[in-house]
Structure 1
Amino acid sequence: MSLIQITDRPEGRVLPLPSRSQEAAGMPAFRIIRRNASISTFDPAKIAIAMTKAFLAVEGSSAAASRRVHEIVRELTDQVTAALTRRSDSERAMPIEEIQDQVELALMRGGHHKVARAYVLYREERARLRAAEKPANPTAPALRIKSPSGLDRALDENWLAELIASSCAGLAGVEALAILAETKRNLYDGMSEDELALAQIMAARTLIETEPNYAYASARLLLDKLRAEALSFLCGHPDSADQAQMAERYPDYFADYIDRGIAAGLLDPELKRFDLDRLGRALRPEADFNFQYLGLQTLYDRYFLHEGGVRFELPQAFFMRVAMGVALREVDREARAIEFYEVLSAFDVMCSTPTLFNAGTLRPQLSSCFLTTVPDDLDGIFKSVKDNALLAKYSGGLGNDWTRVRGLGAHIKGTNGKSQGVVPFLKVANDTAIAVNQGGKRKGAVCAYLETWHIDIEEFLDLRKNTGDDRRRTHDMNTANWVPDLFMQRVEADGTWTLFSPDEVPDLHDLTGAAFAAAYEAYEAQAAAGRVKVFKQMRAIDLWRRMLTMLFETGHPWITFKDPCNLRSPQQHAGVIHSSNLCTEITLNTSDKEVAVCNLASINLANHVTAEGIDHEHLTRSVTVALRMLDNVIDVNFYTIPEARFSNLRHRPVGLGLMGFQDALYRQRIPYASEAAIRFADESMEAISHAAIGASSDLASERGRYPSYDGSLWSQGILPLDSIEILSRSRGKLDLDRSSRLDWASLRERVLQQGMRNSNVMAIAPTATISNICGVSQSIEPAYQNLYVKSNMSGDFTIANADLVHDLKARGLWDEVMISDLKYFDGSLGGIDRVPDDLKALYATAFEIDTSFLIEAAARRQKWIDQAQSLNLYIANPSGKKLDALYRLAWNRGLKTTYYLRSLSATHVEKSTLKGTDGKLNAVSVGAAAEPIELAVPLLCPIDDPTCEACQ
């Protein structure tokens, strides 16, 4: 074991650090490129030594500090070693700077910000000294580069400089010499061509934190690598082309690409029947420059077609392939494919991930979401589990309604025994989702829904806990409460709530509003008279307390509302909505015969807004094209189960949403936490809604109404804005702004005359990945942080807020100190004194914004949407009163669903009070986590109820 001695005074003991040989750790060795271009073997002991020095420099070398450092460094060294091992392979030598980057990232993730800052400053100082001391050596021998065939060639440094310079052309603030210098630091004799290409990309990537435009330079360098890979693969010998040459080569490449994809069994042979010459000439090579590094790397890793791991699909061919796949049934297929391609390649509209994955392939499963209801019998339960597997196999996200399954202790007639309840079956569904991982492209995912009156609701709330019987836990399944209005009314009145087993109260599952309340009260009377065997009574507020507590502690179950979803549904004549989907934005009917399907795409709002406001003409054009694409998906789709096909063709629902809302606010200089932002949320969603409903109605005129149109709210002239009154009458009141700006009377008449092509047209999805592709903020989310590291399946990516950097540069505030301060304050401006207040307001991050603004903005959107929206709520310092007020406000404003509750760890909350921020600075170091951060202190009473024993 390699040791560093730390004297633990006064006892003088020697504390061994955690470094140990790679062989003993069972870890494969890999090579390190040192700064002098020499190669050495990776030794984790050196990481431990470096981190220990950094800790002791900051915290001193007292006995207590030494013991604490010993444990911290052991853990961090293991983390860094594991991360590096995952990233390395036997063929690749890793630059030493990449190792140091991982050390810095581990320190930041662990919350050791002062140590990380010291480590960063030390690295910068050493780099400065090396640059000053390094003698000129113009006669140094040329490095040799190894080709795939094994032949060596001398590195052409002029070629390298020209390539890097071309990647920086037209990018403000980007210096080719900086990338070149960083690249040369990581070169060594005998490196492969692939390593040489990667060295350039990584060099540009390390500079993103200093200037966001380096994200475009990194993408262009990755694009050059991809072009060489694809062209060489298709022509059978080494080949490459720069961006200018691709303008001429794209058409020929495109035809070869289609041929190779069909031959490999990856593309539908029907694509060959398109006029490929016409489509090839329509490709826009210049659109390749729209990508930032995160977006292109994501496509490279997960979306582009490959054979044997070699990518042969270039970006514009990718978008055209998707457009062709969606246009297969069009009369003029080429014209429509070009039309679809143009909105995709311009990032005006982006289809959902399943459509991008599978369009134009042999099994074009293009739909995003599937909703099912699970019956109360063994055959039906396990058929539902099998359906989950089949639907998830081709990238579908799942929402399961489990409310019909009888509860714990209920009688089973067939065996004369007692039911074990719904939880054991949920465990099976959980494990199935993990087993079917969608071909390694993304994890299988499912959300289980249960109504609040189900006798197993208390066990359901505990499913995501880390304690208790693991056989009754589902650590990988999302869960959601399906809450009727009557429960919320009982909570507000501090009334009694009764839990039932659904086999004794079967009609509650399908009833909503006043009909549900009447039946529920009748069953309560029967229970009091002894005619119901399995039931339990409790204070409604006690159950509400547990719901909020579990949401706080585990992030689940989410809170979704049954009655707003059903009472405002255009399709309430054709069935009942029993749940939402995986991301809580889809609200469609389900039954034993129908598995609801929704097909998604999103408008990039940032592309349709200027400093003066919304470009309505551009927006209407994009929405119209997007609705046509979505309607086409229904007909060309590959359905894995017949119930999904039957439902989708009968109702033809689609879900058009939006992304880039935060970017659109930046364009107009509107802070998220403002009344102006709420008004813009209202105005922008009204514009999308008006255009989307009009587009679907026009499609009905061209193609015919959807089969179940008669009897729908649409057929009665009741649009989403009008359906608010139905919910208001059911509740007796609804506190929601109902104003409008556009001509809804004419549109209402148009719908009555022409009908609708689609039963549902709008839903706002999270857009977690497709927003990365487009380089804009996710969905309707506020900015997560202004400078942070995002982790996903493609790796770790530095994200810098380009709008903020532009503003800080304009005011002479963007420098190394500002970058360091942003890192220290976790991407927030709140603790940086020299930043003006107007910029702090405009660039406030998610945890600095009063959460009520998120709900008020969502309520304004909801009045225009026939489905729902994925609404994350951010709260830095959760308390019982805050959560209670927050979710009651969501219900009172008529929201249909909520999504994740994002909260902060205690260490970040403590840090947020530094430098006079009054607790308003809130953010986490590594962003875009799929799960909310679990707090260490349990929330015993979320409403501070004076009758609660925990509060007393």
Structure 2
Amino acid sequence: MSLSVQSTAGDHDARLPFAGPSRDPVAAMPAFKVIRRNGSSSPFDPVKITVAVTKAFLAVEGQAATGSRRVHDAVEAITESVVAALTRRADSERILHIEDIQDQVELALMRGGHHKVARAYVLYREERARARRAEEAEMPSAAPALGVKGADGQLRPLDERRLAALLAEAASGLDGVSVDAIEAETRRNLYDGMSADELSLATIMAARTLVEREPNYARASARLLLDKLRREALSHVFREPREAGGAEMSDLYAEYFPAYLGRAVEAGLADPELQRFDLPRIAAALRPERDGLFEFLGLQTLYDRYFLHEGGVRFELPQAFFMRVAMGLALREIDREARAIEFYELLSSFDFMCSTPTLFNSGTTRPQLSSCFLTTVPDDLDGIFKSVKDNALLAKYSGGLGNDWTRVRGLGAHIKGTNGDSQGVVPFLKVANDTAVAVNQGGKRKGAVCAYLETWHVDIEAFLDLRKNTGDERRRTHDMNTAHWVPDLFMQRVAEDGPWTLLSPDEAPDLHDLYGPAFKTAYEAYEAKARAGGIKVWREVRALDLWRRMLTMLFETGHPWITFKDPCNLRSPQGHAGVIHSSNLCTEITLNTSDSEVAVCNLGSVNLAAHVTPEGLDHDRLARTVKTAMRMLDNVIDINFYTIPEARRSNLRHRPVGLGLMGHQDALHRLRLPVASEAAIAFADESMEAISFHAISASADLAAERGRYPSFEGSLWSRGVLPIDSVEILAEARGGLDLDRSRRLDWERLRERVTRTGMRNSNVMAIAPTATISNICGVAQSIEPAYQNLYVKSNMSGDFTVVNAALVRDLKARGLWDEVMISDLKYFDGSLGQIDRVPDDLKALYATAFEIDTVWLIEAAARRQKWIDQAQSLNLYIATPSGKKLDSLYRLAWERGLKTTYYLRSRGASAVEKSTLKGTDGKLNAVSATALAAAPEPILLPERAAPQVCSIDDPTCEACQ
């Protein structure tokens, strides 16, 4: 092959008669720079790609290619494909590398079926590479000096000594991490005249590309990001250019902290009250070495969305961040410094993590620290639009919303004021949907709301269709979650294949507040009244048909979720003070709502992985963690900034909190317990019992110190009925409940203490999704099974390569971790099941979510539920869904006494890039990079329906955690 004129995709340029595509593939695209092999840079010109591809065709096909429409169209398509791939994967500093461009050209030729041309192109690249090597062998070995542009615009020589020290520090103590490998990858992306930030970007991206080979590169990447953050923060706080290595921060943190806090107060970002703490004592308690606990995804997430910033400059370092949150939660303590340090120790060690709103806002001038808000919408225009306004106010400061819409009359119901007919609940849901889109929490994350409707509501069938991609757009809510609030009577009618009567709530108003046997009596009376002609708007359907349609829509659109009204209310400690009308955005909160009270929940999660050893659960450490965590959560209630009075009234009267857990899968790995095993179910039971015991005990301790919550009298607590006891109330109402009731701890003594001393909090436990805080701590989300062992994870900070570090350690120990294994994991989408050389015990231990029978997840959840006074966000995974499977799973969830379920997830249609993960490890806002590759999200693929994405790490769910 002879290509006498080089190009960007070859080496440099020339234009052929038909070299330009008919439409500019990068029209209106910001300028990109191409880094050449000698370190120089030049503007990116897509036409050069066209030139190279055209010449490749000419070299193979000769003059027959000249003027050929076929070749012209092929060249145009390949150019557009290459440009699209490059601009999607390039960082936002607009930097491309010459080798990456050529790789994409080669790939596009192959994908286009032009195998002879691709082969010629490959041979040409090899020929040019040999020529370059020959030229380099004859030239002096000294590398050209590179200049780095400072903040003042001046070029200074690259500090080779500092670069070497930085890379050595990044790799220090990390098994399998090579300084040489990071340096080699870094130097590919250096060029003369780069900025200091571009230099940082080069090192970080270099380490990140190696994560698929060795998980410890995620820690190395975090250390390199820390260096960039330290330079940014120290320079901003001290108002002069400064940088420091990790070792230097041991002394510098104490000097930095008071200066940082002063800058934050000066900028109006931190509460001035924080400056009244004993700052030398506080600063002396900081643990700089804990900066080293981060993996890249965790630190990147904090950088993007949590650290305080001014004018886009982050000036809050990690330990300052944790201390700011801790101080904010200790503001009303007597010995504020001691409590702040105690809280800081828990957060910075990752033993416990507060929910996202608390991390966002603690210690700031607007401390809205609560996670979830539940409302009930009245059946009048003033009430409906006040509820929509309340949604906006609550969402503004990071609250996740659950709205009960059951009271709003149905389609065709009479409106007395106008003597007309109602349009039903759907038009108002559309307004609520658009409000959630409009109020996106200052760009930190999307506004998030879930609408709940009881299954007897006459608009339930229209409610089922809200998330469909077809039909009248005025009756669709594509941005809002939806959920059923299902009474036990409906499930019994389904089992009996009986009829089900749909009613409008204006004609059956008391059903909204009834549950259990009382609901059954009233509902059957309304059915009789309807058949006798005493009700205007009603409709009878076959219960089984409605149930099947509910499951079908859940499969097709991911919504509405299925939650159960009676278990939530019958087991509620607060049944004497009201009714639970819905759950929240993530289906783990079950609190009373009314016109005068908006339920509020304050969340945080214990890192279960930090509380197990290979021998089992560390009960002493867990007890200490839970005791401190409960104090932190109780403090939220008093410190909180309330945006509406109904929320303040409810929170101060009942003082509910929701202590949950994360890292359950990591704990199982540490204990060598496969998810699909009786031992794993037993551990779920044991661990939740321990958390429940210590949480209830801690709330009783707080009651002794601070007093009972105001509505304690008459509660189940006051009658000596703990969550494990309330299981019997549900069993009695149903005529039985197939659920293991075994227990291990001294509940009799705790029960007596609760009855005598009281509780500080009406509710104490709820297992939220922990979508973000588990990333921060570097553990598996909530109670989720492993999604895949190698995949690209997507959230609002971008796309990140994730490798199961525990699996890699085991494969290394058995001599199985090599390039072939990496390739096999990519090919089989992170699953070990079809890799023959992996032993069966490892296949069982590291089975992924879609490889295990979902029944195991339900059984484990049932064991947890008996200890929890609220609920849990339980996702169900089905690799090959069918109507029969869905029916049996959701019936089993109800039969086992679960209160709620969350997403139904089926296997994704997209997967890990088969060729390589290098360069696909997405958006890096902190170092100015953009998303490079789509994550392999679970996706619902119903027959004859458009695919609906159901994200494994849904940013809209982060209002919970």
**TM-score under structure 1 normalisation?**
0.89
Map 1:827-842 → 2, pairs under 5 A: 827-842=830-845
Quote the residue 1:88 is aligned against: 92
Gaps of 5+ in 1: 5-13, 55-64, 912-924, 940-952
Q: How does 1:712-861 map to 2 (within 5 A)?
A: 712-861=715-864
Query: What is the distance in 1 between the residues matched to 2:395 and 2:430?
Result: 17
> Whole-Å Cα distance in 2 between the matches of residues 596 and 840 of structure 1?
44
Matches within 5 A, 1:206-285: 206-285=209-288
Residue 244 of structure 1 aligns to a residue in which SS? coil
Report deviation, 1:935.
3.5
Q: What's the CA shift string for 1:924-951, capped at 9, x where partnerless? A: x96574x743435459xxxxxxxxxxxx
| Cα separation, 2, equivalents of 1:142 and 1:323 | 47
SS at match of 1:573: helix
Is 1:155–2:155 an aligned residue pair? Answer: no
- Cα separation, partners in 2 of 1:908 and 1:225, compared to 1, 3 Å: closer
Q: Which residue of 2 aligns with 1:62?
A: none
- Give the secondary structure class of the aligned counterpart of 1:602: strand
* Aligned pairs for 1:437-516 within 5 A: 437-516=440-519
User: Aligned partners of 1:902 and 1:542: how far apart in 2?
Assistant: 23
- 1:93-148 Cα offsets, whole Å, 9 max, x none, are 3445777899999999x9x9x9xxx9xx9999999989987648532331011101
Which residue in 2 is equivalent to 1:933?
Answer: 940
Contact residue 19 and residue 77 of structure 1 kept, 8 A: no
Q: Is this contact kept in 2: 1:44–1:81, CA < 8 A?
A: no
Partners of 1:342 and 1:649 in 2: CA distance: 27
Query: Normalising to structure 2: TM-score of the pair?
Result: 0.88
Choose the corresponding residue for 1:658, options 653, 656, 661: 661
1:356 pairs with one of 339, 346, 359? 359
Partner of 2:954: none
**Backbone CA RMSD of aligned residues:** 3.3
2:323–2:341 contact (8 Å) kept in structure 1? yes
1:52 and 1:609 map into 2 onto residues whose CA distance is: 61
Counterpart residue identity of residue 857, structure 1: A
Change (3 A) 1:44 1:709: farther
Which residue number in structure 2 is paired with residue 527 of structure 1?
Answer: 530
Could you report, residue by residue, the CA deviation over 1:204-232 in whole angstroms, capped at 9, with x for unpaired residues? 11101100000001000100111111111
Quote the Cα distance in structure 1 between the aligned partners of 2:54 and 2:671: 48
Cα deviation, 1:639-682, whole Å, max 9, x if unaligned, reads: 00000000000000000000000000000111111111111110
1:81–1:157 distance in 2 versus 1, CA, 3 Å: closer
Deviation at 1:81, TM superposition (A): 5.5
Note the alpha carbon deviations across 1:383-431, whole angstroms, 9 max, x for none. Answer: 0000000000000000000000000000000000100000000000000
Return the match for 1:337 from 335, 340, 348.
340
Q: Following TM superposition, by how much is the alpha carbon of 1:30 offset from its aligned partner in structure 2, in angstroms?
A: 1.5
1:44–1:685 distance in 2 versus 1, CA, 3 Å:
farther
The equivalent of 2:41 in structure 1 is: 39
1:273-302 per-position Cα deviation (integer Å, ceiling 9, x unaligned): 100110000000000000000000110111
User: Is the alpha carbon distance of 1:213 and 1:906 closer, same or farther for their aligned partners in structure 2, counting shifts above 3 Å?
Assistant: closer
- Hey, what's the Cα distance between the residues in 2 that align with 1:27 and 1:339? 51
CA displacement at 1:46 relative to structure 2 = 7.5
CA distance in 2, matches of 1:149, 1:186: 23
Once the two structures are TM-superposed, the CA of residue 21 in structure 1 deviates from its matched residue by: 2.6
Cα distance in 2 for partners of 1:17, 1:830 equals 48
- The Cα of 1:41 is off from its aligned counterpart by 3.0
Task: Kindly provide the amino acid, as one letter, of the partner of residue 83 in structure 1.
Answer: R
Partner residue of 1:942? none
Q: How big is the shift at 1:80?
A: 2.9
CA contact (8 A) 2:793 2:935 kept: yes
Structure 1 distance, partners of 2:132, 2:890, is 57
**Deviation of residue 22 (structure 1)?**
4.9
Report the equivalent of 2:201. 198
Q: In the aligned structure 1, how far is the partner of 2:587 from the partner of 2:55? A: 48
What is the aligned partner in structure 2 of residue 414 from structure 1? 417
CA distance in 2, matches of 1:104, 1:729: 69
Identify the residue that residue 627 of structure 2 maps to in structure 1: 624
Q: Structure 1 97/265 Cα, relative in aligned 2: closer, same or farther at 3 Å?
A: farther
- Determine the structure 2 residue equivalent to 1:943: none
Other-structure match for 1:30: 32
Determine which of 167, 170, 179 is the counterpart of 2:170.
167
How far apart in 2 are the matches of 1:47 and 1:724?
A: 68
1:315 to 303, 314, 318: 318
Aligned residue for 1:243, secondary structure, equals coil
Q: Deviations over 1:439-469 (max 9, x none)?
A: 1111110000000000000000000000000
The structural deviation recorded for 1:168 is 0.7
Q: Which amino acid aligns with 2:88?
A: A
CA gap of 1:18–1:631, structure 2 versus 1, over 3 A, is farther
Change (3 A) 1:129 1:372: farther
State the match for 1:670 in structure 2: 673
Kindly provide the amino acid, as one letter, of the partner of residue 80 in structure 1: A
Q: Contact 1:697–1:757 (CA<8 Å) still a contact in 2?
A: yes
Q: 1:188 maps to which residue?
A: 191
Q: Tell me how far 1:823 sits from its aligned partner.
A: 1.1
- The aligned amino acid for 2:332 is R
The Cα shift of 1:26 comes to 2.4
Shift of 1:88: 2.1
The letter of the residue matching 2:28 is G
Q: What is the number of residues matched between the two proteins?
A: 895
Change (3 A) 1:855 1:127: farther
- In 2, distance between residues paired with 1:130 and 1:401? 72
Identity level (%): 74
Answer yes or no: is the 8 Å Cα contact 1:17–1:73 preserved in 2: no
For 2:145 and 2:48, the matched residues in 1 are separated by 31
Distance in 2 (alpha carbons) for counterparts of 1:130 and 1:507: 86
* Residue in 2 that maps onto 1:179: 182
Change (3 A) 1:396 1:256: same
Q: 1:821: Cα distance to partner?
A: 1.2
Distance change >3 Å, CA 927–CA 673, structure 1 → 2? farther
**Counterparts of 1:78 and 1:901 in 2: how far apart (Å)?**
37
Q: Deviations over 1:297-344 (max 9, x none)?
A: 110111000100111100000000000000101000000000000010
Residue 591 (structure 1) aligns with? 594
Partners of 2:596 and 2:107 in 1: CA distance: 51
**Alpha-carbon deviations, 1:134-168, whole Å to 9, x = none?**
64853233101110101111112222111101111
Task: Tell me the residue number matched to 1:863.
Answer: 866
Give the 3 Å change call, closer, same or farther, for CA 823–48 of structure 1 in structure 2: farther
Match of 1:59 in 2: none
Q: 2:124 and 2:622 mapped to 1: Cα distance?
A: 48
Q: 1:132 to 1:650 in 2, by over 3 A?
A: farther
Residue 400, structure 1, aligned to residue 387, structure 2: no
Change (3 A) 1:717 1:468: same
1:175 aligned partner, one-letter code: S
Deviation digits for residues 497-523 of structure 1 (CA, Å, limit 9, x no counterpart): 000000000000000000000000000
The code of the aligned residue for 1:519 comes to A
Q: Structure 1 residues 505 and 280 mapped into 2: Cα distance closer, same or farther (>3 Å)?
A: same
Q: 1:74 to 1:187 in 2, by over 3 A?
A: closer
Range with greater deviation from structure 2 (140-149 or 654-663): 140-149
TM-aligned CA distance change 1:631 to 1:126, over 3 Å: farther
Larger RCO (CA under 8 A, 6+ residues apart): 2
- Choose which of 588, 609, 614 in structure 2 pairs with 1:611: 614
Task: Determine if contact 2:799/2:934 at 8 Å carries over to the other structure.
Answer: no
